[in-house]
A = this chain, B = another copy of it.
Amino acid sequence: MPPFDLPESDPFSPHNLPYGVFSAPGATDRTVGVRLGDHVLDAGAAALALGSPYASLLARPCLNPLLAAGRTTWSDVRRALTAWVTVPAHQSTVAEFLHPLSSVTLHLPFEVADYVDFYSSEHHARNVGRIFRPDAADSLTPNWKHLPIGYHGRSGTVVVSGTDVVRPSGQRKAPTDPAPVFGPSVRLDIEAEVGFVVGTPSPMGSPVALADFRDHVFGLCLLNDWSARDIQAWEYVPLGPFLGKSFATSVSAWVTPLDALEEARVAPPERTHELLPYLDDTGADAEPGGYDLRISVAVNGHVVSEPPFSSMYWTAAQQLAHLTVNGASLRTGDLYGSGTVSGPAERERGSLLELTWNGRDALELPDGKRTFLEDGDVVTLSAWAPGPDGVRVGLGEVAGRIVGQALG
C-alpha cells in the first residue's frame, strides 16, 4: 500500500500525525518523525526539502524545540505537515523521506524536565482504599475530592516503549516479618496511565489557570508507571512512593498533539464536592476538560483490561492548575501522568493490584495464571480516541518486557 493511500479506518491517517523521534535505517542521528500509517516521515528532511520555516524545529534530535515554540506555532506546523502528506504536489517531494516504521529505531521523543504523577481516577483510588484499608469508613482519603493528589517521580528513568525493564531489588517487610529482607521485587505491577507533555513554560510565581491548559500542554502519550508493590508498601510512610516507582517509567514513542484530539473532548464525571475556584470546571464557560481515550492493557498479547480515560475524576487541566497554584514554574518537557486509569467495571482496572485484588484472584492467561508480573512478561498498553467522521486516532502503544536480574 503506498504510504499516502491510507484507508479511512487507519488510526494513523492525516487526521492524527503524532510526533516522535527516530533514527533512519543504518543511521545513528536522531530526528523528528511524524507517523503516517505504518510509515514515519522524516519531518526535518521534508521541511528542508520544501524550504519550510519549520525546519529549525523539526530537523532536531528531540521534540523540545517544537514543544517550546508555543501553541500558535504548533498549529502552524501541524497545518504544514497535513499539507505535505495530503497535497499531491508536496507528496511527491516528501515521499522519499518516508521510512517503513519497521525499519527505524524509535527513541524517547523529548527530554523530560520534571515528572509528576497524579492519582486521579476515583475508581482506582477507591479500589486501593478498599484493598489496603478495608475497615475505613470511606475508601478515599479526606483530601481526595478537594484536590488532585500528586507527587514527583524520577525524570531520569523515563524510557521509551520497547525498553526492557529490569526487575528492581529492594527492601520489603510483611507485617509479620521481624525485620525487612532484601531481594528482587515479588509483586511487580503496572499502572496504565496517560502522560501529558508540557510545551510552553511558565515563570515562578505565576499559576496557570484552568482555561490556559491548552496554551501550555502540547499533547499526550501513553505511560506505564511500573510499580514494585512490596518495596512501595514498606517505604512509603510518611513521604510517599520512592524506590517502588523510580526504577522505570515507560512512555509511548508517539506524542499525539491535543489538536488531533478535538473530537475526543468530553465532560468529566459529575463533581460531587464543591471545588475551590482555581479547580472549578463546572461553569458554563469551562472547557470540557476530559478526553475520551480507550485504553487496552495486554499481558503477553492477551488483553486483560480496557480502562476508559473518560472516567477520570480530575482532568489534565485541573492537574496543571493544581501543580502550579503554589507558584511552581513549568519547563518545556515537563511530563505529568494522570494516575492509574481504572473504570467502574472489573475489566476496566488499570493495575494488576486491582485486577487480582492484591493477588487474591489470579488472572487466567493463555500461558498460565498471573497475580503479579513474571520475568519475560511483556506488558503492552495501547489506545485510540474518536476522531472526525468516525475515524480512530491511534495513540500507539507503550510496551516493556520484564527482565530478571543478571546473576553475580
Using CB atoms and an 8 Å cutoff, list the residues of chain A in contact with chain B: 113-114, 116, 119, 141-143, 146-147, 149-157, 159, 166, 168-171, 173, 179-180, 182, 204-205, 207, 228, 231, 234-244, 246-248, 274, 276-278, 322-323, 325-331, 334, 405
Least CB distance from A62 to B in Å reads: 15
Q: Are B239 and A168 in contact (CB under 8 A)?
A: no
Given contacts A153-B152, A155-B114, A328-B157, whether A204 and B248 have CB atoms under 8 Å apart is: yes
Q: Are A150 and B326 in contact (CB under 8 A)?
A: no
Least CB distance from A16 to B in Å reads: 30
What are the 10 A-B residue pairs with the smallest beta carbon separation, nearest first? A240-B240, A168-B326, A152-B152, A166-B205, A151-B239, A243-B326, A239-B240, A247-B326, A246-B328, A156-B331
11 contacts between A and B (CB under 8 A): A143-B173, A146-B173, A149-B235, A149-B238, A157-B329, A182-B276, A236-B240, A240-B241, A243-B328, A246-B326, A246-B328
CA distance A142 to B180 in the complex (A): 10
Q: Are A328 and B154 in contact (CB under 8 A)?
A: yes
Neighbouring B residues of A141 by C-beta, 8 Å: 237-238
Least CB distance from A406 to B in Å reads: 8
Neighbouring B residues of A405 by C-beta, 8 Å: 205
Q: Are A113 and B155 in contact (CB under 8 A)?
A: yes
Given contacts A240-B241, A241-B240, whether A327 and B156 have CB atoms under 8 Å apart is: no
| Residue from B114, B150, B239, B242 within 8 A of A156 (CB atoms) | B114
| Residue from B180, B278, B325 within 8 A of A146 (CB atoms) | B180
Q: Are B328 and A247 in contact (CB under 8 A)?
A: yes
Chain B: CB-nearest residue to A204: B157
4 extra interface residue pairs, beta carbon distance < 8 Å, beyond A151-B152, A205-B405, A228-B326? A143-B171, A143-B180, A157-B204, A170-B326
Q: Are B238 and A327 in contact (CB under 8 A)?
A: no
Neighbouring B residues of A143 by C-beta, 8 Å: 171, 173, 180, 234-235, 237
Report which residue of A149, A204, A248, A326 has the largest number of chain B beta carbons within 10 angstroms of its beta carbon.
A326
Neighbouring B residues of A231 by C-beta, 8 Å: 326
Neighbouring B residues of A204 by C-beta, 8 Å: 157, 159, 166, 247-248
| Residue from B157, B166, B171, B330 within 8 A of A147 (CB atoms) | B171
Neighbouring B residues of A179 by C-beta, 8 Å: 146, 274
Chain B: CB-nearest residue to A157: B328
Neighbouring B residues of A155 by C-beta, 8 Å: 113-114, 155
| Residue from B168, B325, B330 within 8 A of A243 (CB atoms) | B325
CA distance A241 to B156 in the complex (A): 20
Q: Are B326 and A151 in contact (CB under 8 A)?
A: no
